[in-house]
Amino acid sequence: MVGISDKCTEDIARERKKCSFSSTELTHFWDGGVELTKRRKLLENYFLSDPELKSSVPLEYLSHKEKYERSIKLSCLFFKKISNWLEHNDTISAMEVYQSVLGGSLGSAVLKDGFPFAVHYVMFIPTIIGQGTMAQQAHWISRAWNLEIMCTYAQTELGHGTFIRGLETTSTYDPDTEEFVLHSPTLTSYKWWPGGLGHTCNYAVVLAQLYTKGQCHGIHPFVVQLRDEETWMPLPGIKIGEIGCKLGFNTVNNGYLGFDHVRIPRDRLLMKNNKVLKDGTYVKSQNDKLTYGTMIFVRVIVVRGVAASNLAKAVTIATRYSAVRRQSELKPGEPEPQIMEFQTQQYKLFPAIATVFAIKSSATWLWDVYNSVTKDLDQGDLDKLPELHAMACCLKAISTSDANQMIETCRFACGGHGYMTSSNFPTIYSSLTAAVTYEGENTVLLLQTARYLVKAWSQRDVTSATITATLKYLSDFRPSDIYQPWSLTMSNLAEAFRLVAAGKIKYCSEHIDYLIQKGYTSEDAWNATSIQLTQIAEAHCRAFIVDTFVKETEVAVVSEPVRKVLVQLCELYSVYWLLKNVGDFLVYSHLKISDVDAVNERLAELLAAIRPNAVGIVDSFDFHDDILDSALGAYDGRVYERIFEAANKSPLNAEPVNESFHKYLKPFLKGQM
Ligand SMILES: CCC/C=C/C(=O)SCCNC(=O)CCNC(=O)[C@H](O)C(C)(C)COP(=O)([O-])OP(=O)([O-])OC[C@H]1O[C@@H](n2cnc3c(N)ncnc32)[C@H](O)[C@@H]1OP(=O)([O-])[O-]
Ligand SMILES: Cc1cc2nc3c(=O)[nH]c(=O)nc-3n(C[C@H](O)[C@H](O)[C@H](O)COP(=O)(O)OP(=O)(O)OC[C@H]3O[C@@H](n4cnc5c(N)ncnc54)[C@H](O)[C@@H]3O)c2cc1C
């Protein structure tokens, strides 16, 4: 056993020695600067060195109820510790701390299946900021921030998650008492899914159809008290519970909620955008989609905080494992190679590494645009909202669907051991795959982006002078560009992605027009074209990601060896996705059949070029072992000992003979049953 351990640690140490660049420098780039790396590590040390936040029994061996109870205990200790930190340290802002513990991966080291308090921070508080008046913000944010109350965001119902205009919960204004009356008229109108709703929260923002003076004005956000602040008993008329076990998120306490004519004061309607006056008069905002603001915010943070971060974890585990796992023969009679020597293994891992960096660069863009558009909205300027919505939708959808598929590939890349819970792939996968559905199901979000693109195509000549940066390629598009010569340069690859997006958008738009001319209604024509419509949203998103990644590699303030790695990863991302959709590139770009072999060769060259640096690159994500929480992916490479140690934590191994032997197996084998 000792021999195996030495061999693994030697293998991984050798990988680190042959790395051609400084992993530490790449870590600084990944974090956004030396200072940010220092701050991240400071927070990690503070939380991860606390024995109270560690659990001796792995979560998976607890019952559902025990998991919940542990999650509440750990959440209270963890969030108390955050408050202590904020009280005594002013070097790191509260926002940065919460981003790091909830939006980053630090929290997963404490409670790997998710926090029942997360929606309080990620959705409730942002909704009050985005939808509340100054007075409402002062009241609710201070109560929520000081943890006097615990809150969630209750939008989805049993019958409707996607089509939120179809939500059934009603909130009817009664001018006599100046109250709203909340009611759930059907079983399908029960709120279903909100994190922490089951037993953890006593307040929620509830989205309900607002009725006043006999007229429905669509969905609006209301702050509703659900439980007594002292006894925690549900208030009269509130029917509340937990929705049961799920694929993952089993410590998040997702809940259900119904109302039986529950009365709340008028000022519980969040009135920054729309208002109801005392006499019941409805005052409309300039854009009714402002009510959807919180969803944009969460989509933005999902891209980096959830998609990039979970994929980075998975690929770190699989790459380190591939450096120490030896299997088969490359050449007869030679020692078994590290499985990373197989080209097929490299093809499973390295595009995922490239995708992590690609998602990260687009996420940075999206976060900056989100902040700038939010400032504009506060000044009443809504011009850039459609672009932000369209980009948040497609980037959320593409980043989570890529991560979803690539995390599974990373698991496959670890063979049977990847299937063990101790690899941590099951939790990483179940956390990430939820993001394909929550905060807007991915297909639906792609169709939102497609709607924006088809509209932009029809207006491209009229608006070309004012067209936004992400759409400029549409007004620049000339169909004859597909006759340009092909070359294997980064600028040419980026151009090919833009040509594919523009060509497909043109085709889709013309196809919809053609169907309408044939007699289809515009809605039927849309539905009959919707497979291609999701593809145009993807093509637009890929062209954007490639462009953003290229620009980032050009302007990054890094040494030449690090830049070289980034350029290789950027090219690999482009070549990989080109080959995945080669048919589109042959039809819509200047790639010709005779060029495809060269692209395949370039893919092989890039995999070989990245191979010596692979461990160094994933090291640069700098995951603390407690955050990776994987027997296969720890820094020291001691894979086999860790798998063994994890197996011995099984409660079944605590006794040599299980009592079921005496009760059932023995009588069964003796024919006495
Ligand atoms: C930790 C995580 C926990 C998870 C929490 C959750 O999941 S919480 C639950 C999360 N739940 C979900 O995420 C639910 C997902 N569902 C939805 O978000 C919506 O129901 C919808 C967008 C799919 C359709 O909505 P609809 O039928 O009302 O709209 P429509 O299609 O008829 O388009 C009309 C116009 O509105 C525009 N527009 C739309 N959205 C936005 C926006 N945010 N901003 C700005 N604009 C927006 C759109 O572009 C179009 O513009 P155009 O072309 O007229 O200029
Ligand atoms: C882990 C988790 C946590 C969640 N947390 C919360 C929370 O805190 N608060 C909250 O309010 N909600 C929450 N949700 C709910 C979540 O937001 C919804 O499940 C999500 O928006 C999808 O809606 P749905 O379940 O109705 O799916 P559906 O819309 O029923 O999707 C089913 C299928 O129908 C297709 N479909 C639906 N409409 C269209 C269309 N127009 N065009 C083409 N195809 C369509 C979809 O593509 C999909 O294939 C959570 C969900 C999960 C899984």
Q: Mean pLDDT across the stretch 652-660?
A: 97
Does residue 597 carry a pLDDT above 80? yes
Rounded to 5 degrees, what angle do the CA atoms 264, 266, 268 make?
65
Residue 626, beta-bridge partner list: none
pLDDT of residue 10: 93
Mutate to test the pocket of ligand 2, among 125, 127, 193, 427 (most ligand atoms within 8 A of CB): 193
**In whole angstroms, what is the distance from residue 321 CA to residue 338 CA?**
9
Residue 219: strand pairing partners: 209
Q: Whose CA is nearest to atom 37 of ligand 2?
A: 162
35-39, 291-295, 391-395, 545-549: lowest mean pLDDT where?
291-295
pLDDT, tens only, 20-57: 999 999 999 999 999 999 999 999 999 999 999 998 88
The pLDDT score that the predictor gives to residue 3 is 66
Residue 220 pLDDT > 70: yes
pLDDT value at residue 271: 96
> Residue 104: which pLDDT band, with cuts at 50, 70 and 90?
confident
8 Å CB contact between 223 and 205: yes
Global ipTM:
0.99
pLDDT score, position 472: 92
- Which pLDDT band, with edges at 50, 70 and 90, does 467 fall under? confident
Residue ranges lining ligand 2, Cβ < 6 Å: 119, 153-156, 160-162, 193-195, 249, 254, 434, 437-441, 443-444, 447
What distance lies between CA 544 and its chain's CA centroid? 18
Give the residue carrying structure tokens 């306490």: 253
Predicted confidence (pLDDT) at residue 96 exceeds the cutoff of 90? no
Give me the residue label for tokens 């169709």.
447
Specify the pLDDT at position 460: 81
Q: Quick one: which atom of ligand 2 is closest to the CA of 160?
A: 26
Strand boundaries in 113-254, DSSP class E:
151-154, 170-174, 179-183, 191-192, 203-212, 215-225, 238-242
Rounded to an integer, the average pLDDT of 287-312 is 91
Q: Which atom of ligand 2 is nearest to the CA of 161?
A: 26
Cα dihedral sign, 34-37-42-45: negative
51-65, 84-98, 232-246: least confident range: 84-98
The reported pTM is 0.97
Other CB atoms within 10 A of residue 346 CB:
23
Tens-place pLDDT, residues 163-197:
999 999 999 999 999 999 999 999 999 999 999 99
Structure letter (DSSP) for residue 56 = S
470 is in an annotated binding site: no
Ligand 2 centroid–CA 153 distance in Å is 15
- Check residue 465 and give its pLDDT: 59
The answer to the question of whether 449 is labelled as a binding residue is no
Which ligand is closest to the CA of 165, given by its number? 1
pLDDT of residue 466: 65
Does the Cβ of 448 fall within 6 Å of ligand 1? yes
Strand partners, 208: 220
Q: Are strands 191-192 and 255-259 parallel, antiparallel or unpaired?
A: antiparallel
Average pLDDT over residues 498-523: 97
pLDDT of residue 464: 59
In short, whether 296's Cβ falls inside 6 Å of ligand 1 is yes
Read off the pLDDT of each residue in 540-557 and give the average, rounded to a whole number: 97
pLDDT at 673: 86
Examine the pLDDT at 463 and tell me if it is beyond 80: no
The count of other CB atoms within 10 Å of the CB of residue 368 is 10
Instruction: Give, in order, the Cα–Cα distances in Å from 42 to each of 32, 100, 182, 439, 619.
Output: 15, 11, 46, 31, 18
* Inter-helix orientation angle 343-378/530-555, to 10°: 90
Q: Is residue 113 pLDDT above 80, yes or no?
A: yes
Average pLDDT along the chain: 95
Residues 27 and 316 sit within 8 Å (Cβ to Cβ): no
Residue 286 banded pLDDT, cuts 50, 70, 90? confident
Burial profile 105-139: b = 16 or more Cβ within 10 angstroms, e = fewer: bbbbbbbbbbbbbbbbbbbbbbbbbbbbbeebbee
Among 155, 437, 523, say which to mutate for ligand 2: greatest number of ligand atoms within 8 Å of CB: 437
Q: pLDDT at position 18, please?
A: 94
**pLDDT for position 173:** 98
Catalytic member of 44, 157, 387, 439: 439
Select from 162, 206, 427 the residue to mutate for testing ligand 2; criterion: most ligand atoms less than 8 Å from CB. Answer: 162
Q: Are strands 282-283 and 255-259 parallel, antiparallel or unpaired?
A: unpaired
Q: Is 439 one of the annotated active-site residues of the chain?
A: yes
Amino acid letter for position 256 = Y
Residues 77-92, mean pLDDT to the nearest whole number? 88
Query: What is the per-residue pLDDT for 462?
Result: 64
